[in-house]
Structures are given as C-alpha cells and as structure tokens.
Chains A and B, each alone.
Chain A
Amino acid sequence: MHPDTIALKNISAYIEDTTILQNLDLHLEPGTVHLLSGPSGCGKSTLLQALARLFPEDGSEKVEGSWHIPDHLRTGMVFQDPESQFCMMRVEEEMAFVLENLGTPPERMEEEITGVLAETGLTPLRHRLIHELSGGEKQKTALASVLLLKPHLLLLDEALANLDPAAQQTLAALVMNIQKKRKCTVVIVDHQPENWLSFIDRVHLMSGEGTITASGTPEETFIGSGAETCREEGIYIPFPYRKKATASRRRRSGKEDPVLEMSALTPARGDACRVQLSLRPGEITALAGSNGRGKTSLLQTAAGLQKPRSGEVFLKGKPLSSWSERELRRRTGYVFQQPEHQFIAESVKEELAFGPRLSSAADAEKKALEKMKQFRLAHRADVHPFSLSGGQKRRLSTAVMLEADTEVLFLDEPTFGQDAASIRSLTDLLHRLRLKGTAVLLVTHDMNLVHELCDRVVVLLKEKHWIGEPEALWADEALMEKSGLLLPAGRMQKEEFACSSS
C-alpha cells in the first residue's frame, strides 16, 4: 500500500448514542478524486470532518473499526458558507494567519503568500477586505488559505453551493487545475455535482444510515450498480447519467387576467430597472441572473416588502399600497431562502395554525392537521421547528406560506442546498399550484428547475432585463454568456460536459 493511502474499514461512529456512520468502508488512493453523494443528513459532512481529523473529541463521540489515516498526511478543507470561514479582515492577513498557525518562519511567509495568491489568481485582491469580495472570490480565498497547509488531502464540503453558476464553474476549474499540478487527493461533497463530473475518478454513494452502499466510476455508480440506491435514497443523479427530463410545461389558456403586474418597476437596490411583467394565474416565472443583479430585491419589491424606487405593482388590478397589510399577506406568500427565519411558533402544529388563527378561522387546528398531512410533517407535529431536518424545514416554511386563498407565491432560491428528494417534492408542489391557478414568481440559479417547470424567465442584466420563454433563452448564446448562466443539464450534450471542464 502506498504510504499516503487512506483506508477506512468497517467504521461506525456515534455522537451521544446517535449513529452517524455505520459499517463504512472507504479507500482513497493518493492523487485520485472522489465524489461523496447521499441524501441530506446522511453523514457526508461528518465523514469529511473525520478525514480532516476534526471529529468532535469531547467525550460524547465513539468510533469503532479500523481507521487508517497516515499521521504525516496533511488535510485542507473548504466549507460551504463563504461568510464564516475567515477570522481576519484582509486576504493577505488570512493567509498570514494560516502560516503563523503552522509556525512558518517569517522570512519565508512573503514568498509563500505571493505564490499561493498567484496560483489561485488572487494577486490583485491581496490587500482587499474579505467582506467586500464576491462569493466566488471569498471561496477562492478560502481555497488559497487551505492550500498553504500543503494538503495531501483536499476536502470540499459543498464549496460551490452558495455561488452563482458562472462562479461555480470558475472555482471548479481552478480546483481541477490545482489538483493536476499538486497531485493531491480530493474528496468532494456536492448536491449537484455536474461541475465536477469529468474530473471525478470514483463516486461513493451513501445511504441515509451512514453506510457507503456503492462505489465505482461515475458511469458504474450512477447508471449501473448505484442507480437503484440513488432512486431509493433520493440522491441527485447528475445529468449525463439521467434520462432526459421532459419539460412538463402545460400552459393554461393564458387568457385570464393577470393577477400581479409590475409597471416600470425599479427596486430600491440592484440593477433591475423599469421591469414590465405580468403574472397570470397558474404561471410559473423565474428571475435569473448573476449574483448582485438585484433578483431578491425585485422579488421583495413585487411582494410589497420593499418600497420601489419608481414604478408600481398591482395585485388584481389594485396598487399594492391600497391593500391592507393583512389582506396582502393572505393573498400572497413569500418563502425566504433560509426557512428558519420564518418560524415564529414553538411547534410544527402551532406554526401551521398561526396563519389560520390570524384570519380568526375557528378550525385553525384542523387546517394545521391537514397541512401536516399534505406536507408529510404529521409525525413531527410537536417538534420545535428548529429541530427539523433541512428538508422538513423547507417543507414547513413553504406550508406556512400557502393559505387556501393564496394567489401569488414568491420563492427565493427554493432549491438551494436541497437534495434530490426535497427538490422533487418542491417540483410536485409547484405542479399542483399551477393546476390550482396560483401564480408563482421565483428567484433561482437552478436552470434545471427553469427548464423543467417555468413558463417564462426574466434575466436581469446591468441596467436591462430580458423576458422570454426558457427555450428562447437557451438558444440565445450571447445572452447566456452575458448573464453568467449555464445551460440546464437537460439541454446540454454529453460532449459539452467534457469540453467545458477540460
């Protein structure tokens, strides 16, 4: 066995009697690239932390099995959230922080910092404040600081999840180049791993119980032996290995009066300018564009949460300002990106009864029970909303925003950080809303969602916007390029995957 090989055999890990990993086998040859796929909460992150020797050691943990990670092996880890990976103010200081931790002699630091910044393309940003950087630049900074550890093993825990598609591609390409030069072992956890595919040697599928159930090349696992597991566990199958998704847009007549209209709407923040858009009942419209264009700002203005700089929004022909707050909130729903922000009660049941109670419905309790069944939360009725799993929180935050008479639903990044099962339950819900005649406006980077579900896309550009059907957007290469969007997997040819990453 090569001295740098990592071998885990029959590992089980428990924290406070909860099983995190179970009979897990993992073999990592030096210089290879691995993808860990599994449903939310299956222990992928814990496994990465264990590989980085960050497993909590406070006495509540217990690990069994044969655990072979050579002592000389250095690990580096990039995490998901760009906001909470730094403790210094400037890029250069963060680099110095790592070198100081390692006890690097001061006279060597300058050379190392210059080197790693050049390697990651951050040289021009050396003296910039980290909190002023874009998400992609922050993640690059995190990567650079980790590279200073000279890792044999590079771990990426959803490192792309908070970035827009163009930034995702850039960062993935950067990691690939670095891996080729440094020949380090890489382990990637990513809910939607399309960006990495051409680069991955082996895929390991994890089941909800924390066991690796299938390992092999991407083809073997996603098409062959693992395909069954993927379906059962709700693991996202990346496009080239999936049957082409058929766009299931079934337009309604389109003759009905629009329920929401924006007239020359300019939100107070962002680049969106004089947006003219009307939503008809049962229509699903997406807002897209790179980060910082003001998608969320436009969504909030349309929902009456922000005052517009100019222009007006009409709900059922009446300006928003003439609706009473209560009536407006009853007819519209707004699902925030972070589900937790919307929770106000102490249990799931109370949370769902809160809305009906406001409109003094005597049967609030009954309505809550119905909703719990509909959103598969019945078994969690008395649990505090904050203790739900990620997918359950997402379902609850959507459930509380849907009243019987909701006519427009606004969603901010609904597929963000969700596993395949949650995404499927979201698309099912949107289908039902379409049939019921609820208009939906959603902000998303997920072009697969747009392709499969949306009737129209609004692309926000600097000072301009484009409105049209998804097919027209996919066909317009210049526009795609300009707006930093990527073709949805369903529209990409297999070869394009290979080219875009080589």
Chain B
Amino acid sequence: MLQQLNPSVKAGAVLVPSILLSFSYDVFTPLVFLFLLLVFTWTWSGMPKKKWLMLFSPFFIGAAGFAWMTMLYAGDGYQSGEVLFSVWHFEVTEGGMEAGISLGLRSLCFIALSLLFVLTTDVTQMMHSFMQQLKLPPKLVYGIMAGFRFLPLFRHEYTVIRQAHRVRGVEAERTVSGRLRHFRRFAVPMLAGAVRRAERTALAMTAKGFTGDKNRTWYKRERVEAKDWVFAASLNGALLLVLAASWYFGYLSIFHWDAGRSQ
C-alpha cells in the first residue's frame, strides 16, 4: 500500500514524472501515462474509486477549460495543418487542437500524481521523513507543523472579526479605497492575533525543551526500504516505457521538436 511508503522517496518518485511530462507536447504520451496512473492509483492507494473520482472531477473540468483555451489561442508555432473548425473568428487548426488536448492531458497527469501523493501521505510522517532523510532543519519543520495547526483557527477568527465589525456598523464597502480601508481593519487584528499566537506557541515549544538542535532521537524512525525503490522505479519505469513507445510509434514531441522515430 502506498500509505506505508517513505514520504521523501514517494515525493521524489512523483516529482520526476511531473517534470519530464511537462516537456512532451504530444497527445499520446500523457494519455497513455494517465491511463497507467489511474491503474496505479486504483490498485495501490486503497482509496475508494468513488471518493477519488469526486476529488478528481473538479480538476477535470478545469483541465478541459485549459485545453479549450489553448486550442483557441495557441501560438503561431502550433498553428499547423488544416483548419478543423472556427469559433467566431478563431480558427482551430489540427496543430492547435493537438496542443490543447496535450496540455489538458498533462494537467490531468499532474493532478493524478499530486492526488496519489497527497491522499496517501500523513503530514506528520512526511515532516519526520523530511528531517530524517532530507535533513531539513527541525526548526523549520516543527515551525511549519505548528503553523499548519493554525489554519482552521484563522478561518474562525476571520468570521468572528467580520461579525464584530458588523456589530459596530461597518457596512460592506463598494469603492476601491473603501475596500482597502476595510482590508486594513481586518489585517491589523488578524496579524496581531497571529503574531501573539506564534509567540505563545514558540514559548510553549521552548518550555517543552525544544532547541532546534539537529541531534534528536526519534520515536518513530522513517526508513527507506526496498519497497520504496520498487515504487519509484515502477512509476518512473512506466513513464520511460510510455516515452519509448511514443517514440517508437512516432508520436513523441518534445517542445515542438518531433522526436518520433518515423520523422
């Protein structure tokens, strides 16, 4: 199961394909890789398909929007081949269409990769792994952890301040300068609150013996094991296979240099 993998290796394993994919401008490569990713996610993440689809669908709509915009506005470099159809006075060429669909598919690949990581990783484990494997300084990591706990409090505080101002008779501002003033009125108490809370937390952490020293003992050791490398190798191997196939069948396009064999 992906939950048991080492977060640092998992992050690396997911990051590499994201970068490599961003260079392939054809349709075939991201399409096939996306298909493999879905298989990966559904067999190994232990995540119910329905829940995953619920999370994925809003991004799907976003990606479709991206693709559509790219089709219409694709730069001259992509405008090749016949004009397929025209919308108002935008003409969609074969090249533009390909660029658009490719971009959409690549976005979906990034999203699937991100979800694969985010949904199977525990924040605490990740932070511990960043300190133990990537040697990030504890001061930074525990600071982020403490800050992470504040997020829901901010939301709550924003609601309360809005009500408190409403009670004072502050009404919704419509002009730009009014909105600016409005923003300042919110910013002062929120910032003051945040600074004070941060100070209190820092004091409490110091009182608990936290010095930021790198020489700590660990309650739970995050280890890198064979299965982590198997995961990294299979995910990236899959991408290499797809790239190879794409090259073999002549689809592969890096930027707009057609790298396919048949070219």
Contact = CB atoms under 8 A, between A and B. Distances in A.
Interface string A341-355: 111100000000011
Nearest to B160: A341
A224 B171 CA distance: 55
B149 A131 contact: yes
Nearest to A351: B168
B159 to A, nearest CB: 10
A133 B163 CA distance: 26
B189 A340 contact: yes
Contacts of A130: 149
Interface stretch (A28-36, A73-81, A313-321): A73-81
B172 to A, nearest CB: 10
Contacts of B257: none
B169 A329 contact: yes
Interface string A48-69: 0100101000000000000000
B161 interface: yes
Nearest to A343: B189
Given A79-B204, A100-B219, A101-B216, A87 B166 contact: no
A342 B124 contact: no
A446 B108 CA distance: 56
B219 A325 contact: no
Interface string B83-124: 000000000000000000000000000000000000000011
B153 interface: yes
Interface in B27-59: none
Interface string A423-459: 0000000000000000000000000000000000000
Contacts of B210: 97, 101
A401 interface: yes
A52 B188 contact: no
A90 interface: yes
A104 B215 CA distance: 11
A239 interface: no
A87 B168 contact: no
B209 A98 contact: yes
Contact of B204 (A84, A100, A106, A401): A84
Interface stretch (B72-80, B192-200, B234-242, B247-255): B192-200
A99 B217 CA distance: 8
A408 interface: no
Interface in B148-193: 148-149, 152-153, 157, 160-161, 163-171, 185, 188-189, 192-193
A386 B207 contact: no
B207 A81 contact: no
Interface stretch (A116-124, A201-209, A331-339): A331-339
A329 B169 CA distance: 6
Task: Label chain B's interface by main secondary structure.
Answer: helix
B206 interface: yes
A103 B215 contact: yes
Nearest to A101: B209
Contacts of A93: 124, 219
Interface residues of A, number: 58
A75 B203 CA distance: 13
Contacts of B167: 303, 305, 329, 333-334, 336, 342, 401
Interface string B118-132: 000001100000000
Interface string B207-223: 11111000111111100
Contacts of A329: 166-169
Contact of A341 (B161, B205, B208, B219): B161
Contacts of A355: 168-169
A89 B124 contact: yes
Contact of A101 (B145, B201, B211): B211
Contact of A84 (B123, B124, B200, B218): B200
Contact of B169 (A81, A338, A358): A358
Nearest to A56: B203
A97 B161 CA distance: 33
B218 to A, nearest CB: 6
A333 B200 CA distance: 31
Given A87-B145, A87-B146, A338-B160, A79 B200 contact: yes
Contact of B160 (A75, A336, A358): A336
Contacts of A52: 207
A88 interface: yes
Contacts of B168: 329, 342, 344, 354-355, 400-401
Given A77-B207, A79-B203, A89-B123, A106 B169 contact: no
A98 B208 contact: yes
Given A89-B124, A342-B168, A355-B168, A100 B218 contact: yes
Contacts of A333: 167
A325 B163 CA distance: 13
Nearest to A95: B219
Nearest to A103: B217
Given A329-B169, A333-B167, A102 B209 contact: yes
A208 B188 CA distance: 29
Contacts of B208: 97-98, 101, 145-146, 149
Nearest to A337: B160
Given A329-B169, A334-B167, A344-B185, A83 B197 contact: yes
Interface of B: 123-124, 142, 145-146, 148-149, 152-153, 157, 160-161, 163-171, 185, 188-189, 192-193, 197, 200-201, 203-211, 215-221
Given A106-B218, A146-B208, A329-B169, 5 more contacts: A86-B149, A89-B123, A109-B217, A341-B164, A354-B168
Counting from the closest, the 7 A-B pairs by CB-CB distance are: A96-B219, A101-B209, A87-B146, A341-B164, A85-B204, A84-B200, A342-B164
